Amino acid sequence: MGRASDRRRVTRVRAGVATAVRPDTVVGEEPLEIRVGGRALAVTMRTPGDDMDLALGFLLGEGLIGTGADVAAMRYCATPDGATPDGAAPDGAAPDGAAVDEDGRPTYNVLEVTLAAGVPPPALEDARTFYMSSSCGLCGKASIDAVRVRGRYDIADDPLRVAPEQITGLPETLRAAQRLFATTGGLHAAGLAGADGALWAVREDVGRHNAVDKVIGAAARAGRVPLVGQILVVSGRASFELVQKALLAGVPMLAAVSAPSTLAVDLAVESGMTLAGFVRGDTMNLYSGAHRVLCG
């Protein structure tokens, strides 16, 4: 398995003077190829760890599945031809043709997903387009219409009601739960909480969309999708793709430490999601769905 962090030598500079050469902890970043039915669906750069949550959350966030029950199994492939880690030699050497790291160990950067019986396989050309678009930015009303067509959950009437202090306390609670960020300073995070403001799932990743996929995937594996009455909190800005992922998982509220984009606000308004931005200290901006926040 890839490493979530590693050590690299750095030269420390202060006031224009090189003061020390020392090792520093750097967040890991490696590609993960997600396959469905033996065919490549997407490749994403991610921090190794919680890869099955990432794959499951990605499939949900693209509207390709509706719940965790739509996936029958997931396994790592060590080689380009699909051989599993079980094919490794007794001495731990990688199978012939395997992708290996500098120490000759399989990287396991390919994940094979098997859909449950009766779940239609994705149209790979369309799915690849969704992936590229959600990573690089979507545009306009056509994008919102596409999400509406693929969405399975109506969140407009979700009964979630929450006190303002439960929302404004989430970023600090999320930061406190970021174990890898504390040593690298280089990760985004996403968490899920109920109306009481208690985080019950947190995931980190070098990519903010990956962090969201991981935490939604963790919820799906626990059988908690759709995420009725839940709040998704993210450590950065609220972009269109994050609102999209939340909507396709049935999340009624998204709280972001930083700003939303125009298209993120448009999708939140269109879907009936509560979108809070600039959630810092005891303040926040409510861009949509203010009725869910019990202000005085």
Tokens, residue 11? 């030269």
Distances (CA, A) of 125 to 43, 121, 129, 252: 14, 12, 6, 30
Alpha-carbon gap, residue 174 to 190, rounded angstroms: 8
Among candidate residues 226, 260, 216, the one with its CA nearest the CA of residue 157: 226
Q: Which of 77, 136, 139, 295 is catalytic?
A: 136
Is the separation of the CB atoms in 158 and 230 below 8 Å?
A: no
Is the separation of the CB atoms in 162 and 292 below 8 Å?
A: yes
Is the separation of the CB atoms in 61 and 212 below 8 Å?
A: yes
Tokens, residue 223? 């059988």
**Active site (annotated) includes residue 136:** yes
Give the residue numbers annotated as catalytic, written as ranges: 136
